[in-house]
A and B are shown apart, each in its own frame.
Chain A
Amino acid sequence: QVHLQESGPGLVKPSQTLSLTCSVSGASINSGGYYWSWIRQHPGKGLEWIGYIYYSGSTYYNPSLKSRLTISIDKSKNQFSLKLSSVTAADTAVYYCARDQNGHSSYDYWGQGTLVTVSS
């Protein structure tokens, strides 16, 4: 069974960098065929596509976040990560990592989500 688990600080100060890691078990990030994704949900709002990384290192980002966003992969740890710089209160959200089957937002496995609050 594939399992994804987000980890990282739950509180980040404005203007700092939000960093999250998604640990994957039950599947190898390095095996290819899947796109390792980040999605977020502002409190009480809908889902927002953040972006994804392929095992080759290719990345695709939400244009509205692209200037602040980096998604990276650590094959040795079977993890992938998200860094979002210069955060504001508008970045307060539940952040989910997920596995996309085809790069077209066909998510078959999700992490449980982690709430990140941006506040001083």
Chain B
Amino acid sequence: QTVVTQEPSFSVSPGETVTLTCGLSTGSVSTSNYPSWYQQTPGQTPRALIYTTNTRSSGVPDRFSGSILGNKAALTITGAQAEDESDYYCVLYMGGGISVFGGGTKLTVL
């Protein structure tokens, strides 16, 4: 069974740029996986950030952007802010109606 991989944790200083990635245990991520990204703070419902690789959800600041970098999907936060400290989840479409979430990345901003 294919596993969606994410960095378990990442640290960034305020104002710096950070790129979180989303890969596959076998093969490469492409736009055909329609990668989406969600932000979740403890105790809260996930919030959509990016749909289908690079479409920003309504109301999401433009410091969040999505792309394909090499063989992975990527979420870049340009100029991280303290309020960006959260868990970030990617989800990939595997075909046949099936999607799989990654394990999530815990982002610390300090």
Q: Which residues of A contact B (CB under 8 A)?
A: 39, 46-49, 52, 60, 62-64, 96, 101-108, 110-113
In the complex, number of A-B residue pairs with CB atoms less than 8 Å apart: 65
Q: Assess whether A60 is in contact with B96, with CB atoms less than 8 Å apart.
A: yes
**CB neighbors of A among B46-93 (8 A):** 46, 48, 51-52, 57-58, 87, 89, 91-93
Bound: A49/B93 CA distance, A: 11
8 residue pairs, one from A and one from B, having the closest CB atoms = A60-B97, A104-B34, A106-B51, A105-B99, A104-B93, A105-B91, A46-B104, A47-B101
Chain B window 21-59, contacts with chain A (Cβ cutoff 8 Å), 1 for yes, 0 for no: 000000000000010101010000110100110000110
Q: Assess whether A104 is in contact with B38, with CB atoms less than 8 Å apart.
A: no
Interface size on B, residues (CB 8 A): 26
Q: Assess whether B46 is in contact with A110, with CB atoms less than 8 Å apart.
A: yes
Bound: A70/B43 CA distance, A: 27
List B contacts of A62 (CB < 8 A): 98
List A contacts of B101 (CB < 8 A): 39, 46-49, 105
Q: Assess whether A108 is in contact with B57, with CB atoms less than 8 Å apart.
A: yes
- B19 to chain A minimum Cβ distance, whole angstroms, is 20
Of B36, B48, B103, the residue contacting A46 (CB under 8 A) is B103
Secondary structure of the A side of the interface? Answer: loop
Q: Assess whether B36 is in contact with A106, with CB atoms less than 8 Å apart.
A: yes
Of A48, A104, A112, the residue contacting B45 (CB under 8 A) is A112
- A59 to chain B minimum Cβ distance, whole angstroms, is 8
A-B contact pairs, 17 of them (CB 8 A): A46-B101, A46-B102, A47-B89, A48-B101, A49-B99, A49-B101, A60-B96, A64-B1, A101-B51, A102-B34, A103-B97, A104-B36, A105-B36, A105-B99, A106-B51, A107-B48, A111-B45
B100 CB-CB contact with A under 8 Å:
yes
- B55 to chain A minimum Cβ distance, whole angstroms, is 8
Question: Contacts A46-B103, A96-B45, A111-B45 hold; do A104 and B52 have CB atoms under 8 A apart?
Answer: yes
Question: Contacts A49-B91, A62-B98 hold; do A107 and B46 have CB atoms under 8 A apart?
Answer: yes
Of B45, B51, B52, the residue contacting A113 (CB under 8 A) is B45
